[in-house]
A and B are shown apart, each in its own frame.
Chain A
Amino acid sequence: MAGTAMTPYAQLVGPVDVYVAPYGTAEPAIDAAVPSTWYKLGPTTGDQTIEHSGDLEVFRDNDHQAPVKVTRPEEDLMVTFTVVDMTYEKYARIINNVGRIATGTSGSANVKRLGFKRGATPTEYALLLRGSADSPYGLYPGQNYIPRCVQSGNPAPARGKATRAELECEFMTLEDDTQSSDDDKMGWGTVQIN
């Protein structure tokens, strides 16, 4: 047997599905299908990352060589992934919100129109990352829920002879003061255990 106490399930491999919903949308139950209030923002390509960042402020004094105190004055949680679906329903949500799409005609053709100005106020979303086998305790679902965030990235879809246009997304978490626990104000992970 392997010379480690770690179970095989503890290693997580594979991408997850990414959903957005209006800010205020509650986390869905992990054993239920994702409700239709959540909009699947995919498919994605490449790695999907959840970055926990926040530099430490280090305090020293004249009596010691090593730091004697540290604090974390600022903190961020960023979720990044790249969407390959260029339909306006996804493009609009990524640059601001789906209300930016207008349908109409151009000449005799039916068209959808998307205004590119992102505006001064980004749309606040709730974000859900759900994997059907993303629990480190077994072949069970796992999900990460961010109650309040905005898309802070600057997507640059490129066209070329062999280049696929893609939308690079970077969702910046905002503190959600409606959460009762301070630990939960930047979101949380939930994984099934049996």
Chain B
Amino acid sequence: MPMIDPIAAILKLISDNTNVQAIVGDRVAGKHKFAQAGSVNAWKADQSCIVAKDDPGTTPDIDIGDHVGRVELRCYGATPAAARKIYNSLIELIRDLEGRTTANTSNGTALIYSLVMDASPFTTVDPDLSIDMVVGYARYRIHEYALEEYQ
């Protein structure tokens, strides 16, 4: 079984959360889907959406074999307030994590040891899309291989 993709695990953790779903539906991805005219999955500029992607700079775990890193969480909204509402739902999700948890990815079940916010949020407008967004950063530790490997 291939190695767990930590961003995929975080995306799944976010997209499975009912409070987040109530705001963004299924619009949670590793790359935005705005400005994709003709695509049935395209996001509209006034829709609330989340994009999670790698943020560099974290020292990797070279001993044990965990994915250790930092993720950028872009919360897009029609207004700054709408974007903030999404961000707050992510804060709630992370607060509610009671220790280790799992997320089912296409590469198997990921064991998420920790996911914690790592910086204060940043309210801005996406320079390429001209859409309001609140950007948050989180640190994570996720096991490199699926739990199925150990059964």
Contact of B147 among A4, A8, A13, A131 (CB under 8 A): A8
In the assembled complex, A178 has its CB within 8 A of some CB on chain B: no
Q: Is A172 an interface residue (CB 8 A)?
A: no
Q: Does residue A106 face the partner (Cβ distance < 8 Å to B)?
A: no
| Total inter-chain residue pairs, C-beta < 8 Å | 51
Q: B92 to nearest A CB, angstroms?
A: 15
Closest 10 CB pairs of A and B: A14-B99, A133-B99, A13-B113, A8-B143, A133-B100, A8-B111, A2-B65, A132-B98, A13-B114, A7-B150
* Shortest beta-carbon distance from B44 to chain A in Å: 38
Known A-B contacts A4-B65, A139-B102; A14 and B111 likewise in contact (beta carbons under 8 Å): no
Residues of A within 8 A of B (CB): 1-4, 6-9, 11-16, 131-134, 139
A138 to chain B, nearest CB (A): 9
If A2-B144, A7-B150 are given as contacts, then 14 extra A-B residue pairs at C-beta distance below 8 Å, sorted by A number, are A1-B1, A1-B145, A2-B65, A8-B111, A9-B111, A11-B66, A11-B113, A13-B99, A14-B100, A14-B114, A133-B101, A134-B99, A139-B100, A139-B102
B residues contacting the other copy or chain, number (CB 8 A)? 20
Asked if B111 and A131 sit within 8 Å, CB to CB, the answer is no
Q: Chain A nearest CB: distance from B150 CB in Å?
A: 5
* A-binding residues in B (CB < 8 A): 1, 64-66, 97-102, 111, 113-114, 141, 143-145, 147, 149-150
Tell me whether chain A's interface is mostly helix, strand or loop, or mixed. Answer: loop
B13 to chain A, nearest CB (A): 14
18 contacts between A and B (CB under 8 A): A1-B1, A1-B149, A2-B144, A4-B65, A6-B64, A7-B150, A8-B143, A8-B150, A9-B100, A11-B64, A13-B114, A14-B97, A14-B98, A14-B114, A15-B99, A132-B98, A133-B99, A139-B111
Complex-state Cα separation, A134 to B98, whole angstroms: 10
| Distance (whole angstroms) from the CB of A157 to the closest CB of chain B | 24
CB neighbours (8 Å) of B147 from chain A are 8
Closest to B112 in A: A13
Contact, CB under 8 Å: B114 / A4: no
Residues in B whose Cβ lies below 8 Å from that of A14: 97-100, 113-114
Of the residues B64, B97, B99, B114, contact of A131 by C-beta under 8 Å = B99
In the assembly, what is the distance between CA of A13 and CA of B61, in Å? Answer: 15
Docked CA distance A13–B98 (Å): 10
Q: Which residues of B contact A8 (CB under 8 A)?
A: 111, 143, 145, 147, 150
Please report the C-alpha to C-alpha distance between residue A8 and residue B142 in the assembled complex, in whole angstroms. 9
What residues of chain A lie closer than 8 Å to B114, measured between beta carbons? 13-14
Q: How far is the CA of A7 from the CA of B150 in the complex (A)?
A: 7
A contact residues around B145 at 8 Å (CB): 1-2, 8
State the CA gap A16–B145 with chains docked (Å).
25
> What B residues does A12 contact at CB under 8 A?
100
In the complex, which residues of chain B have a beta carbon less than 8 angstroms from the beta carbon of A1? 1, 145, 149
A3 to B149, CA, bound (A): 12
- What residues of chain A lie closer than 8 Å to B141, measured between beta carbons? 13
Q: Please tell me if the beta carbons of A4 and B113 are within 8 angstroms of each other in the complex.
A: no
